[in-house]
Amino acid sequence: MVMDDASSNPPRDRRHLSRLMVVCALAVAGCTTWVGTTAKSFLGHVRNDPDPNMRYVAYSKLADPRAYDSEEEKAEAVRILIDKFEKGHEPIATRAMICRTLGQLRDPRAHDLLVKSVNSPEAVIKIESCRALGKVGRPDDATILAQVMTLDNLEDARIAAIEGLAELKTKDPRIYQLLVENMDHDDPAIRLASLNALRKLTGKDHGTNPADWRRKLKPVLDAAAATASPSPGDAAIKARPAAESATATRFP
């Protein structure tokens, strides 16, 4: 099996883009026999195996924290993953898997790479980077993901950015405002992703009616309005949000 760069061409049905990784993994599983059971073995394939399919599987298995014998070994894996991504010699789907694995390992050393790859022209890399950045990001990275959520033309990228924001645990009231507004979006997938993000961020479930969320989150939405920022998608959305502080708005 040969992995090609077909993912760089937008498919007719954008909803299937995020499933590319699953398809690749299943296809690889059908032609793979053994990559070992430890991080040492997986790293050996990453470094030396000429088969891109075996390397793909090894990259995916490095996402399991239980594969490592020590924090030093995990740190070495993160360094190698970053290096392999930046060299650009791996297929597109494999580089997307590297981003996913870096997110699963939650190592802050992957932060700068993921910030850059969020803007990748390759859709599947952008999608995985949005999710991964939510797991290793900083509070001000909420703005980066908010830009993708509001401005990107690709539905799967917008959904991935919303999922990343839910992982980031941001307290920026403007993000909550955007998510509540997204509950009225024309796209049902965007509505559902935004609802799930609000549930995760607040730890509460106020149902599926946007009006109920607006009522319950009124103090937060009022705080967003008090910033006097323009509407979502305008230049102010691109401005770095203020750093979170101990005085962050509490949720009802």
Distance from C-alpha of 169 to C-alpha of 61, rounded to nearest angstrom: 26
Residue 29's pLDDT band (cuts 50, 70, 90): very low
- Is 159 within a domain? no
Task: Tell me the per-residue pLDDT of 150-186, one tens digit each, with 9 for 90 and over.
Answer: 999 999 999 999 999 999 988 899 999 999 999 999 9
Residues 183 and 133 in one domain: no
Residue 226's pLDDT band (cuts 50, 70, 90): confident
Residues 26 and 133 in one domain: yes
pLDDT of residue 33: 55
- Is 182 within a domain? yes
Residues 121 and 1 in one domain: yes
pLDDT of residue 36: 80
- Is 236 within a domain? yes
Residue 18's pLDDT band (cuts 50, 70, 90): low
CA-closest candidate to residue 22, choices 7, 37, 42: 7
- Is 122 within a domain? yes
Mean pLDDT for the chain overall: 83
Can you give the residue range of the structural domain that contains 18? 1-137
Answer with the one of 117, 137, 157 that is the final residue of a domain: 137
Q: What is the pTM of this model?
A: 0.77
Residues 74 and 189 in one domain: no
Residues 192 and 95 in one domain: no
Position with higher pLDDT, 28 vs 113: 113
Residues 78 and 185 in one domain: no
Answer whether residue 143 shows pLDDT above 50.
yes
Residues 199 and 92 in one domain: no
